[in-house]
Chains A and B, each alone.
Chain A
Amino acid sequence: MSYRLSHLKQLESESIYVIREVAAQFEKPVLLFSGGKDSIVVLHLAIKAFYPAKLPFPIMHVDTGHNFPETIAFRDQLVEKLGVKLIVASVQESIDKGRAVEEKGINASRNAIQAVTLMDAIDQYKFDCALGGARRDEEKARAKERFFSHRDEFGQWDPKNQRPELWNIFNGKKNFGEHFRAFPISNWTELDVWQYLKEEGVSLPSLYFAHKRQVIQRNGVFLAMTDFLETATHEIPEERLIRFRTIGDATCTGAWESAADTIDAIVEEIAATRLTERASRADDKRSESSMEDRKKQGYF
């Protein structure tokens, strides 16, 4: 019998199922969109899940203010093309209002305080479920995540007391004030994401493709020279041929030396690499449990 689905089709079907389940079980979901490849995949899957209807929920960008201009341009173009509703939650505003305190010093990053802005936005708009593009293969704390991840009224993740998740039955029941995070592409690997983007012909921000850029090297990670990056006097910018493997806050998203300038070349590169994509994330290098700690505090 030829009734078999390729692994990408199986993953796609599972993710669409999860996204539809979110729309069915929650009153006010939102899709978190960073402009990175994982959230681009989730958005693409969500469009497919409800076709030919429009997306039944808005998308939200938690904007650290430390963006690569390419990401924002890409985001705005995509929003216009798809006709989805975009909410921008600003970390700068949280800082200005005194809701969050910015880190100081040379390694300062707005990555961790995104959680404050995210939680405030969830509260303000009364969102009861936030869909995200986190994957279990990214990081060891994320390997323990459920598809439907319960958060208490403080937005906290309790990893030692998670609800069992059996078969394809997702329990989204909650009390007032609590909410959920849902991760439709939990079972995808980085390579799956790239193979899928290639198969589906999805467009991506130019940052993912090899280009020449001024960078400095810090703790074994290349950081792009931007207006937001504080540098020490010994850190001399140099031009390198790089691309980004992940896209986040510009101050902690590491670049990667690469000549891969097409999606085919990227798929080949990822298939052969011996380093995880998080190896270029300065925020995960802080300690062995940094992801677990941030997630407990409401990070996604």
Chain B
Amino acid sequence: MDLLKFVTAGSVDDGKSTLIGRLLYDTKTIFEDTLEQVKMSSERRGDVHTNLALVTDGLRAEREQGITIDVAYRYFATPKRKFILADTPGHIQYTRNMVTGASNADLAIIMVDARNGVVEQTKRHSFIVSLLGIRHAVVAINKMDLMGYDEAVFERIKQEFMDLTTRISIPDLRFVPMSALDGDNVVDRSANMPWYNGSTLLHILETVQVSSDHNFIDSRFPVQYVIRPMSNEYHDYRGYAGRVAGGIFRPGDEVVVLPSGFSTKIKAIDSYNGPLQEAFPPMSVTLILEDNIDISRGDMIVKPNNQPDTSQDVDAMICWLGDRPMQPNGKYLLMHANADARCMVKDVIYKMDINTLHRIEDDKAINMNDIGRVRLRTTRPLFKDAYTKNRITGSLILIEEGTNNTVAACMIL
């Protein structure tokens, strides 16, 4: 059985919580004692129906205010697959949480209210999905019951959305007309929309192919930790532990170690369960090399004929997460592929108006939730790829000195 990580985007009014409640309920994932607790809370609050949103709102402040503040993770399974759902807040001011939830997702569900069609919120969510490199998206056109299950409404909204794709890129895009409240086309096919011949939402989630989304071509092994047992039994043992970020490694492969540039061969791939014949993403393994080279955390093991871009200049899309605005020419700590560095923001090329998807070039102040394009200069070279090529070697975060807060997510161009 494999695993699908997905993220939901949409405001409370689009019926996102209802949809999640429906998915969990129809896959029999809401446990009886949890449901009992939710029923009791709903009654105490005076809600008319059992409020399934209370299943997902974990913090007291969230329950009190009836909004979702932070990403919550939900787990469910069907006989076909296990699912990890990042449930992200829909409010505009929580764009940063959607970015956080989307960073590890293979698929996104973008909720659209059939009564309103494509609105600014839809554009913002779709842009973030595209920016974070999520290749599969399901546009859930919800509340079809309130529009008389009309095929023309569905087709019109689908066309509105397709018009966006001139500015955003999502390779695998699907549209499902549904009513989350009644469960139409969520788990079971809708009898109300016989004109729809596509899959139900759950069927898409169960069958979408995501394993090929890993990069199996460009071999990248960021060294995370050096294993030196210092015991008599393993006197000269030096293992380079890490998680394969791209490509396939096999014993005997010629490799180059960055930044030193030394060449050697893979002697063995080690694991607790014994030596391995190959290692590929996202496996955590230990590489043993033929030659004794000085290698430490943050170095990268790659193949001689396929190396990452090595540079101190980084062009990237940035999403600002910090409370305090980005400082022009500010200095920040940077983490990238198990390596630490410092950097300076040299330039803001433009800022995105994510509601219109236009570039703003006359206002370059980057505040919380803003997305823009920046140029960074780092204190030491990064071994990097474009984010579109590799989500691990193509991503980095900025950390504010002093508070140590994570203040920005960057996708390398």
Contact = CB atoms under 8 A, between A and B. Distances in A.
B2 A4 contact: yes
Contacts of A124: none
Contacts of A278: 33
A233 interface: no
A167 B104 contact: yes
B262 interface: no
Interface in A261-278: 273-276, 278
A1 B56 CA distance: 37
B395 to A, nearest CB: 5
Contacts of B341: none
B224 A169 contact: no
A187 B84 contact: yes
Interface residues of B, number: 78
B98 to A, nearest CB: 11
A219 interface: no
Interface in B230-269: 230-231, 233-234, 237, 239, 241-243, 248
Contacts of B280: 3
A150 B84 CA distance: 23
B234 A52 contact: yes
Contacts of A288: 37, 41, 60, 63
B216 interface: yes
A48 B271 contact: yes
A166 interface: yes
B31 A274 contact: yes
B231 A49 contact: no
Nearest to A51: B272
A168 B337 CA distance: 9
B3 interface: yes
Majority secondary structure of chain B interface residues (helix, strand, loop or mixed): mixed
B77 to A, nearest CB: 8
Interface stretch (B198-206, B374-382, B401-409): B401-409
Contacts of A175: 404
B227 interface: yes
A166 B58 contact: no
B325 interface: no
Given A17-B243, A159-B70, A167-B391, A292 B60 contact: yes
Contacts of B77: 189, 191
A236 interface: no
B7 interface: no
Interface stretch (A66-74, A89-97, A138-146): A138-146
Nearest to A175: B404
A133 to B, nearest CB: 16
Contacts of A5: 2, 282-283
Interface residues of A, number: 61
A7 B75 CA distance: 13
A140 B335 CA distance: 30
A143 B60 CA distance: 13
B243 A168 contact: yes
Contact of A51 (B28, B230, B271): B271
B392 interface: yes
A137 B336 CA distance: 29
B225 A20 contact: yes
Contacts of B56: 143
A53 B228 contact: yes
A273 B29 CA distance: 10
A47 B97 CA distance: 34
A47 B229 CA distance: 12
B79 to A, nearest CB: 10
Interface string A163-184: 1111111010111000000000
Interface string B101-121: 001100000000000000000
B32 A24 contact: no
20 contacts: A5-B2, A5-B282, A7-B1, A7-B82, A14-B282, A20-B225, A24-B338, A52-B234, A53-B227, A53-B237, A54-B231, A137-B75, A141-B59, A144-B70, A144-B71, A162-B70, A168-B392, A187-B84, A288-B60, A292-B60
- The list of the 5 closest CB pairs from A to B, nearest first, reads A140-B58, A53-B229, A173-B404, A48-B272, A7-B3
